[in-house]
Structure 1
Amino acid sequence: MRFRHPDGTAVHLGYCSNVHQAEDVDGVLAQLADHAEPVRERLGVDRLGIGLWLARDVVARLTAEPGELTRLKGELDARSLETVTLNAFPYAGFHRDVVKKDVYLPDWADEARLTHTLDCARVLAELLPDDAERGSVSTLPLAWRSPWPSERADTARRALDRLAAGLATIESDTGRRVRVGFEPEPGCVVETTAQAVRELRGLDPERLGVCLDACHLAVQFEEPGAALRRLAEAGLPVVKLQASCAIEAADPAAPTARTALRRLAEPRFLHQTRTATVAGTGGEPRTPEGRTAAGFVAPEVRGVDDLPDALDGGLPTDTGPWRVHFHAPLHADPEPPLRTTADQLVRVLAGLLGGPSADCDHIEVETYTWSVLPEPPTDLPGGIAAELAWARDRLTDLGLKDDR
């Protein structure tokens, strides 16, 4: 779906196909028929955006066999789908029985990560609609935080310079600009916007920036306005927003909350869990943004790498709410007394698109966890359509116009 910001910018909204399991070209084409086209029909729109996740084997085949890329582009057109963004964070095996920390491999100190990302950019340059201003590719925030010795950090930094040069070459060859956004995530080398500024400042802002995931922002208890200002002041563009919600337990000690949280502690994905207190206030009550009666105070965040660790005593239950890296459907409430951070996502959207200019033009609904919910849906296209309708309504509330 496309929207027009009051400043004239075309804003693209779609959903990420990493919710679907496919790691060959035929499987990707089947997703378009079995899921993406039905989602478009449920929404009643003429054209639907889909942010493709293409596993390494798929990308390698598309780059080696131009006919396969032509086939993919033809299927997108035939089903009234368009792609302006790719998710290149998971490399392969994203729907194995156990993924956990393997999703961060290979990292940016490994040549394979650079090769894959540039190949994704080449594929996207060919898939972009003729009238799209540019494309975007999201990737991991350098690496999982450890081990990350200085020599690997230096290798990664050199790879980012080569990435920018490679993207410039793609633009010269194709006439299409593709930007890459590094996605801060809890537990990684870059898990907050402050760390993004520290690690990514000084990169080519025409081609490299941040992919902001609203779920990750919420899990780290970052206040949206402050986070967006920090990125803007550092010259780091938000090349893509992943519209997502985390799970929050306001009182993680409550037996009902613990029962509901245990139902989310599944074995496939990593569910980093955080809690926060306001330093020096002795746990004084505060809002989710970190405000106390005295005003805004940056929260002190404590965390563990997975939800079972928190439930087994790794996090205190008496200092504030827990937030869990579990991408929850945007439009639906989780099992009570849990709630989502949808209000945080609304503030992120307002910060990026509620002002006189559009500060992001690619929005991707990324709820990849449908299959591991305690009660997986029987109608996945219907659920995805409901999420997109929710996001559409939030954009029109901000004054954007449907631009079919």
Structure 2
Amino acid sequence: MRFRHPDGTTVHLGYCSNVHQAEDLEGVIAQLAEYAEPVRDRLGVDRLGIGLWLARGVVTRLVDEPGELRRLKNELAARGLETVTLNAFPYAGFHREVVKKDVYLPDWADEARLAHTLDCARVLAELLPDDVERGSISTLPLAWRTPWPAERAETARRALDRLTAGLAGIESDTGRRIRVAFEPEPGCVVETTAQAVRELRGLDPDRLGVCLDACHLAVQFEEPGAALTRLADAGLPVVKLQASCAIEAADPADPAAHAALRRLAEPRFLHQTRTAPAAEEQVRGADDLPDALDGELPTDTGPWRVHFHAPLHADPEPPLRTTADQLSQVLTGLLGGASAACDHIEVETYTWSVLPEPPADLAGGIAAELAWARDRLTGLGLKEDHL
């Protein structure tokens, strides 16, 4: 879906396809018919944005076989779908039985990460709609925090210089600008906006910036207004917003909250958990929800927030709640002013399949999330842009 900001900016809203289990081209094309087109129908719109997640093998095939890339673009168009952004954070195997910390591999000190990201940029430059001049790609925040010795950090920094040069070359070849956005995430080298400023300041803002994931921001107990100001003051653009909500337990000592959290402690994905910091203290946390529940995180210091992407529109099992209010504040901070500070918004709830009660109607759930986001955008004064 496209929206027109009062300043004239076109703002793109879509959902991320990493919710779907497809790691070959045939599976990617099949999911467009099975899920994405029905989502568009449920919303009653002529055009729906889909942020594609393409596993490494799919990207390689699309780069090596231009005819297959044209086939994918034609399939998108035939189903009323468009792609302006890719999620290049997971490399492959995102729906294995156990993913956990493997999602951070290869990291930015590994040559494979640079090669994959530039290949994604080549693919996206061809998939962009004809009337769209630039696209975005989200990627991991350099690496998981350990081990991260100085020599790997320096290797990663050099890779970012090569990334900038490679993106410039793609723009020269295709006329399409692709920007890469680093996504702060709990537990990583860059887990907060302050760390993003420390690690990423000085990069080319026309090609590199931040992917702000609202769930991650909330888990780290960052105040949205202060976080956005910090990035703006450092000259780090918010290239992409992942519209997402975390799970919050207001009283983690409550047996009912503990039981509800235990039902979310599933084995596939990593669910970093943080507790509210006291004055002048750092946020305390556990790397995974089971660790927190087993005593690694105190229950008497304040709320817990969990990196579990919860559906935007629905309440979790009581007494748990989501951080939807924080997401609304992020949307207001980015798009509620005189000018648009971000133009790519991607709903990224990849956890539907690991909910305690997975939905029978996934397309309906995704459509409901997008409708929630659409209502927030129009409430900020944006106008839906129809074909």
**TMscore range, shorter length:** over 0.9
C-alpha separation between the residues in 1 aligned to 2:131 and 2:370? 22
Q: Equivalent residues in 2 for 1:169-208 (5 A)?
A: 169-208=169-208
- What is residue 62 of structure 1 aligned with on the other side? 62
Which residue of 2 is the match for residue 6 of structure 1?
6
Residues of 2 paired with 1:201 and 1:312: CA distance? 38
Partner of 1:121: 121
> In structure 1, the residue corresponding to 2:282 is in which secondary structure?
strand
Partner amino acid, structure 1, of 2:63: T
Distance 2:255 2:216 in 1: 26
Q: Please report how far the alpha carbon of residue 218 of structure 1 lies from its aligned counterpart in structure 2 after TM superposition.
A: 0.1
Aligned length: 386
Contact kept? 2:278, 2:301, Cα under 8 Å: no
Residue equivalent to 1:219: 219
Could you tell me how far apart the structure 2 residues matched to 1:187 and 1:268 are? 17
Q: Deviations over 1:47-83 (max 9, x none)?
A: 0000000000000000000011011001000001000
Q: What is the one-letter code of the residue matched to 2:262?
A: R
Q: Which sections of structure 2, spanning at least 5 residues, go unmatched?
A: none
Equivalents in 2 of 1:160, 1:225: separation in Å? 28
Q: How does 1:349-368 map to 2 (within 5 A)?
A: 349-368=331-350
Alignment-derived partner of residue 210 in structure 1: 210
Say whether 1:318 aligns with 2:300.
yes
Residue 278 of structure 1, CA deviation = 2.5
**What amino acid is the match of 1:372?**
V
Matched, 1:338 2:345: no
Give the alignment partner of residue 291 of structure 2, picking from 309, 313, 317: 309
Task: Note the 1:86-105 alignment, pairs <5 A.
Answer: 86-105=86-105
By how many angstroms is 1:133 displaced?
3.0
Per the alignment, residue 388 of structure 1 pairs with 370
Alignment of 1:33-182 (within 5 A): 33-182=33-182
The letter for the 2-side match of 1:322 is W
Q: Secondary structure at the match of 2:13?
A: strand
**How far, CA to CA, are the matches of 2:360 and 2:12 in structure 1?**
28
Q: How high is the TM-score relative to the length of structure 1?
A: 0.95
8 Å contact from structure 2 (residues 246, 308) kept in 1: yes
1:338 Cα deviation after fit = 0.1
State the SS of the aligned residue for 2:283. strand
Quote the residue 1:372 is aligned against.
354
Structure 1 residue identity aligned to 2:80:
S
Give secondary structure in 1 for the equivalent of 2:53.
coil
Q: CA deviation at 1:300?
A: 3.1
1:130 deviates by: 1.1
Distance 2:177 2:55 in 1: 22
| 1:279 Cα deviation after fit | 1.9
Q: Distance in 2 between matches of 1:300 and 1:204?
A: 30
- Measured in 1, the distance between the counterparts of 2:133 and 2:41 equals 26
Query: 2: CA distance between counterparts of 1:122 and 1:267?
Result: 34
Opposite residue 179 of structure 2, the aligned amino acid is R
Aligned-pair RMSD on alpha carbons? 0.6
Give the % identical residues.
87
How many Å apart are 1:131 and its aligned residue?
1.1
